[in-house]
Amino acid sequence: MPSEEAFITLYYTDVFQITILYSVNIVIATFYNFIFYLAAAIALLLVVIKQDLDLCRNIAYLYKSMMLVYFAEL
């Protein structure tokens, strides 16, 4: 049976790893949110300025696929 000291060490190691994973997930989520807003802004500009609906549709498909990747990683 492990000693109390070993148990406490394992507990704090797990808490530290969970904290790191949570922080990494926040960074990834922030990056994806930035990309999503950038794609939405580009699509809006294309509709307003060039009125290029095909390119806007392609950006929307890219946005949708990135959303699927993001939620698959959660």
For position 11, what pLDDT does the model report?
A: 61
CB 56 within 8 A of CB 47: yes
Residues of 3-33 as b/e, b for ≥16 C-beta within 10 angstroms?
eeeeeeeeeeeeeeeeeeeeeeeeeeeeebe
For position 74, what pLDDT does the model report?
A: 57
Mean pLDDT of the chain: 71
pTM of the model: 0.42
Which comes out higher in pLDDT, residue 10 or 54?
54
For position 2, what pLDDT does the model report?
A: 53
